[in-house]
Homo-oligomer: A and B are copies of this chain.
């Protein structure tokens, strides 16, 4: 496959594929006749993995070394284990925080929902902002 096809099947911007290739995450062959890049299904797997890993907060250098380790079947990988463990902690924390904030948003939206449409609610926003750290107050009159 070439960039466009790879990008389409992985639902990724072609420029991202090119960028990852520049950065060495993907190492496609080259068609010597036209200098086009030729990606394998292995590259597709790597690309998919990279995108998921990015969502989890891994950096490109981290992803790159994980991918390198995977290529080299014969080396142990305490590093990968460490990075994974570390990231897992971060993800858990983020998840907790996000859940709390989501609930806060929801109740704010509920409050607004119960007001007739078009009602001036600068006050509600104000209260929301003022008591953002204090969810009980934000919901009260």
Q: Which residues of B are found within 8 Å of A77, using beta-carbon distances? A: 120-122, 125
- The 8 Å CB contact of A102, one of B73, B78, B88, B109, is B88
Q: Which residues of B are found within 8 Å of A95, using beta-carbon distances? A: 95, 98-99, 102
Name the interface residues of A123-139: CB closer than 8 Å to any CB of B: 123, 125-126, 128-130, 132-133
Query: CA A85 – CA B70 in complex, angstroms?
Result: 41
Residue of B nearest to A101 (CB): B56
Question: C-beta contact mask, A26-59 vs B, less than 8 Å → 1, else 0?
Answer: 0000000000000000000110110010011000
Q: By the criterion CB–CB under 8 Å, are B118 and A78 in contact?
A: yes
A12: interface (CB < 8 Å): no
Query: CA A5 – CA B95 in complex, angstroms?
Result: 30
Residue of B nearest to A50 (CB): B129
A114: interface (CB < 8 Å): no
Q: Which residues of B are found within 8 Å of A84, using beta-carbon distances? A: 105, 108-109, 112
